[in-house]
Amino acid sequence: MTLAAQRWPAFAEPIAGRKRPGARTVYRMELAKMRRLIRVRVIAVLAIIGPFLAVAALHLQSATPGDTAFGQWVHVSGFAIPMVVLGFAAQWIAPGLAAVVAGDIFSAEDHFGTWKTVLTRSCSRGQLFTGKFLAALTFGLALGLLLTVTDLLAGLLAGTQPVVGLGGQLVPAGHATLLVVLSYLSDLPPLLGFTALAVLLSVVSRSSVVGIGGVVAITFLLQVVTLLSLPAWAQLALLSTPFQAWHGFWAQPAFYGEFSWGLVTCAGWFAACAAGSWLVFRRRTIGVAP
Amino acid sequence: MVAVTEAGPAETGSAEALSAVAARGVSKWFGPATALDAVDFTVRPGDVHGLLGPNGAGKTTLLALLFGLILPDEGTLRLFGRTRAEAGAGWLDGVGGFVETPRFYPYLSGRRNLAVLAGLDGGDAAGLIDAALDRVGLTGARQQKVRGYSLGMRQRLGLAAAMLRRPRLLILDEPANGMDPAGTRDLRTALRHLARDGVTVVLSSHDMAQVEEICDSVTVLHQGRAMYAGRLDAMRARAPDPVWRLHTSDDGAAAEAARHLPGVKTGARDDGGLVVFAAQDRLDDYVLHLGRGGIAVRGLVLDVTPLEALFFQLTGDTAEQAKEVS
């Protein structure tokens, strides 16, 4: 059928039941688009099978990662395994994985040239920004929670013997399960902070390479900076520091000061990145050059 | 060059209130570059209005302003009698279309792209997707990823996406770009049908012949200025003689013969033959005169229509330059 074959009577009628869409609609659309992305599916599969592969790899070798927290106990207790994975993955990998979506969710529209398409619909810039930002956060949260579940399950599969805590105390299975979950949850705030940072880089640079690669580079840089003898306040201000807050949960006696400071640090980074992203996005000229 | 508009200042107030689009003194600068310079034009409801001009004339900037993608630095723009400040979030209610080539998510199918856009429109737009795809002839390609679409298919998908909004005002930037001749013909017919159903259409083009076929009114832009804004028939009345390309058995004698005929002017073409400026009846006399003088006419082609000639006058291009560009 051709363009001219029929008239467009249905399209000329008054709009029926149109309710102005809001940020929630944008959020839903972004999640629908996200589900279609191959890289999102790959990350989800890796997050599910990765911990089990890690358990299998640890079982195949007699040596232990003794220089990391809980490393010496990986052949003794299954609870040590998710903590070793957390100590490594949270600081080096998770920010980059979260940035795969957050660092691309705005700049992909620049790359595809689709800002003009979506901004000529019924949603405002504010609604688009909110919906996209929430979708990026949702991916970061979902990734963190998925890793919590799969890492814990992989650990339980390896064994439920009591584990030795960081204060040398023996932690029984039930309490160890709780501490593993709390440790993973305590890494969500910095993960969301890195998500907001990825969004900022994506908005400012309009480039997914910068949005994703920038976060990976900053993650490495922060790890290097952590090795320097910085004043305590400077250490606490780094976005990577809260990833270590769970150490206090496993101490004897337990302490939560670092976790509380970490929340403040993450909130500060998050607010600054979110506000900066919005200010840049709100003033942006879309799609027309002289 | 002198800018011409149909309506004088006294008429503009009531016209703006009744018009689908009204621009008054709209200017836009990008740094030191002037994209639009005090542009005035009005589009009546139900008209097909052409924004005409060479590349860089300001057509796309003007369309981006209509969509609110950018803001004017000076002047007032009204859609259906309301400024953007007055309309607020409802500025684009009843407005659909695209600026530059329609762009979509390449990793999604045509249908899923429309589903995303319909979601952003709200209401019952999603229920129109299949009908819209059918109308633009993309039913067979609806499940195909957009990355595999040709330019013409994207233009069709852009039209379908615009129609999901059930627009009272349809704004299209070079809509025939990339379409094959049949698609272009269908597009013209579709736009006329839409106008008959009460939809106002504003489209940009650099092709005068295309605009001449489907538009009721036109704004000619050149270097950001509106050189003409008004009805197409009024423009026709001002149009100069058409330009013809003539090849004869003796071009020198043919040029000499033209000197003795009123209303006929000739010039030599660089590639041989003559360029003839003459109305149709004068040209008929000229051709008969050549025949009686024993000069054979080997080729006669309409090179520039009267409206094209006026367009070139308004935009300061010579016919030859414009032909090279087009």
Q: Do B194 and A8 touch (CB under 8 A)?
A: yes
- What is the rounded distance in angstroms from the CA atom of residue B120 to the CA atom of residue B243? 50
- What is the rounded distance in angstroms from the CA atom of residue A232 to the CA atom of residue B67? 52
- What is the rounded distance in angstroms from the CA atom of residue A275 to the CA atom of residue A265? 15
Q: What is the pLDDT of residue B2?
A: 43
Q: What is the pLDDT of residue A4?
A: 45
Minimal CA separation from B58 to chain A, in Å: 8
- What is the rounded distance in angstroms from the CA atom of residue A194 to the CA atom of residue B119? 29
Same domain, B142 and B280: no
Check whether A79 has a pLDDT greater than 70: yes
Q: Which residues of B touch A105 (CB under 8 A)?
A: none
- Mutation target to probe the B interface, by most B beta carbons within 10 A, among A101, A122, A129, A284 is A122
The complex's ipTM works out to 0.81
Same domain, B168 and B222: yes
Is B317 a domain residue? no
Q: Do A112 and B69 touch (CB under 8 A)?
A: no
pLDDT mean over B88-100? 87
Same domain, B18 and B88: yes
Q: Which residues of B touch A15 (CB under 8 A)?
A: 94, 123-124, 166
Q: What is the pLDDT of residue B1?
A: 43
Query: How many distinct structural domains can be found in chain B?
Result: 2
Q: Do A117 and B161 touch (CB under 8 A)?
A: yes
Q: Do A21 and B119 touch (CB under 8 A)?
A: yes
- What is the rounded distance in angstroms from the CA atom of residue A99 to the CA atom of residue A83? 23
- Mutation target to probe the A interface, by most A beta carbons within 10 A, among B166, B172, B192 is B166
Q: What is the pLDDT of residue A109?
A: 94
Question: Measured between alpha carbons, how far is residue B73 from residues A285, B29, B39, B77 in Å?
Answer: 13, 7, 12, 11
Q: Is the peptide bond before B9 cis (omega within 30 degrees of 0)?
A: no
The dihedral formed by the CA atoms of B168, B173, B174 and B175, expressed in degrees to the nearest 10: -40
Q: Among partner residues B116, B165, B193, which is closest to A8 by beta-carbon distance?
A: B193
Q: What is the pLDDT of residue B9?
A: 43
Nearest by Cα to B175 from B162, B164, A5, B166:
B162
Please say whether the beta carbons of A103 and A212 come within 8 A: yes
- What is the rounded distance in angstroms from the CA atom of residue B98 to the CA atom of residue B275? 39
Q: Look up the CATH number of the domain holding residue B278.
A: 3.30.70
Please name the helix (run of DSSP H) or strand (run of DSSP E) that holds residue A31, with its range, or none: helix A23-35
Same domain, B290 and B228: no
**Is residue A118 less than 8 Å (CB to CB) from chain B?**
yes
At B127, the pLDDT band (50, 70, 90 cuts) reads confident
Nearest CA in chain B to A22: B120
Q: Within 13 Å, how many C-alpha atoms sit on residue A256's CB side?
A: 6
Task: Note the helical H segments in B76-231.
Answer: 84-87, 110-121, 129-135, 151-163, 181-196, 208-214
Sheet architecture: strand order including B74-79: B33-43, B21-30, B74-79
Q: What is the pLDDT of residue B311?
A: 79
The last residue of a domain, from among B183, B214, B237 = B237
β-pair type (B169-173, B200-205): parallel
Q: What is the pLDDT of residue A286?
A: 76
Please say whether the beta carbons of B89 and A124 come within 8 A: yes
Same domain, B159 and B292: no
Is B319 a domain residue? no
Please say whether the beta carbons of A219 and A194 come within 8 A: yes
Of B159 and A60, the structure prediction assigns the larger pLDDT to B159
Nearest CA in chain B to A3: B136
- What is the rounded distance in angstroms from the CA atom of residue A197 to the CA atom of residue A210? 11
b (16+ CB within 10 A) / e for A172-207: ebeebbebbeebbebbbbbbbbbbbbbbbbbbbbbb
Q: What is the pLDDT of residue B12?
A: 52
Amino acid at B140: G
Q: Do A120 and B103 touch (CB under 8 A)?
A: no
Same domain, B185 and B102: yes
**Is residue A42 less than 8 Å (CB to CB) from chain B?**
no
- Mutation target to probe the B interface, by most B beta carbons within 10 A, among A117, A132, A283 is A117
At A11, the pLDDT band (50, 70, 90 cuts) reads low
DSSP-assigned letters across all residues of B228-284: EEEEHHHHHHH----EEEEEES-HHHHHHHHHTSTT-EEEE-TTSSEEEE--HHHHH
Nearest CA in chain B to A5: B135
Q: What is the pLDDT of residue B91?
A: 85
Is B84 a domain residue? yes
Q: Which residues of B touch A287 (CB under 8 A)?
A: 64, 69, 99-100
Q: Among partner residues B69, B97, B103, which is closest to A288 by beta-carbon distance?
A: B69
Q: Which residues of A touch B101 (CB under 8 A)?
A: 113
Is B122 a domain residue? yes
Instruction: State both tokens at B123.
Output: 């209401």
Q: What is the pLDDT of residue B17?
A: 63
- What is the rounded distance in angstroms from the CA atom of residue B1 to the CA atom of residue B316? 7
pLDDT of A225-252, one tens digit each? Answer: 888 888 888 888 999 999 999 999 999 8
Nearest CA in chain A to B168: A12
What SS3 class is residue A175? helix
The dihedral formed by the CA atoms of A116, A122, A125 and A129, expressed in degrees to the nearest 10: -100
Is B309 a domain residue? no
The last residue of a domain, from among B211, B237, B263 = B237
Where on the phi/psi map is residue A159: left (φ > 0), alpha (ψ -120 to 50), or beta? Answer: left
Q: Do B186 and A288 touch (CB under 8 A)?
A: no
Same domain, B135 and B261: no
At A290, the pLDDT band (50, 70, 90 cuts) reads very low
Q: Which residues of A touch B187 (CB under 8 A)?
A: 3-4
Q: Do B128 and A11 touch (CB under 8 A)?
A: yes
Check whether B321 has a pLDDT greater than 80: no
Please name the helix (run of DSSP H) or strand (run of DSSP E) that holds residue A211, with its range, or none: helix A208-227
**Is residue A56 less than 8 Å (CB to CB) from chain B?**
no
**Is residue A284 less than 8 Å (CB to CB) from chain B?**
no
Check whether B316 has a pLDDT greater than 70: no
b (16+ CB within 10 A) / e for B225-235: bbbbbbbbeeb
Q: What is the pLDDT of residue B162?
A: 92
Check whether A17 has a pLDDT greater than 90: no
Minimal CA separation from A286 to chain B, in Å: 6
CA B193, B196, B198, B203 dihedral sign is: positive
How many CB pairs below 8 A link A and B?
Answer: 163
**Is residue A8 less than 8 Å (CB to CB) from chain B?**
yes
pLDDT of B28-44, one tens digit each? Answer: 998 888 999 999 999 99
Of B326 and B201, the structure prediction assigns the larger pLDDT to B201
- Mean pLDDT, chain A, rounded, equals 88
Same domain, B21 and B96: yes
Same domain, B167 and B264: no
- What is the rounded distance in angstroms from the CA atom of residue A134 to the CA atom of residue B71? 28
Check whether B317 has a pLDDT greater than 70: no
Check whether B7 has a pLDDT greater than 50: no
Q: Please give the share of chain A, as a percent, with pLDDT higher than 70.
A: 92
- CA angle B288/B292/B296 to nearest 5° reads 80
Q: Do A114 and B99 touch (CB under 8 A)?
A: no
Asked which of A11-25, A190-204, A253-267, B102-116 is least confident by mean pLDDT, the reply is A11-25
Q: Do A37 and B107 touch (CB under 8 A)?
A: yes
Cβ-count burial of A19 within 10 angstroms (0-12 exposed, 13-18 middle, 19+ buried)? exposed
Is B115 a domain residue? yes
Is B316 a domain residue? no
Q: Among partner residues B89, B123, B183, which is closest to A19 by beta-carbon distance?
A: B123
Cβ-count burial of B14 within 10 angstroms (0-12 exposed, 13-18 middle, 19+ buried)? exposed
pLDDT of A143-202, one tens digit each? Answer: 999 999 999 999 998 888 888 888 888 899 999 999 999 999 999 999 999 999 999 999
- Mutation target to probe the B interface, by most B beta carbons within 10 A, among A19, A106, A120 is A120
- What is the rounded distance in angstroms from the CA atom of residue A190 to the CA atom of residue A270? 9
Asked which of A27-41, B20-34, B208-222 is least confident by mean pLDDT, the reply is B208-222
Same domain, B49 and B149: yes
Same domain, B291 and B201: no
Indicate the length of chain A as a whole number.
Answer: 290
pLDDT mean over A50-59? 87
Instruction: State both tokens at B87.
Output: 């309309």
Amino acid at A235: Q
Check whether A1 has a pLDDT greater than 60: no
Domain enclosing residue B83, as ranges: 4-237
Q: Do A116 and B103 touch (CB under 8 A)?
A: yes
Same domain, B133 and B277: no
Please name the helix (run of DSSP H) or strand (run of DSSP E) that holds residue B34, with its range, or none: strand B33-43
At A5, the pLDDT band (50, 70, 90 cuts) reads very low
Q: What is the pLDDT of residue A3?
A: 54
Q: What is the pLDDT of residue B136?
A: 86
Instruction: State both tokens at A267.
Output: 């909130």
pLDDT of A100-135, one tens digit each? Answer: 999 999 999 999 999 999 998 888 899 999 999 999
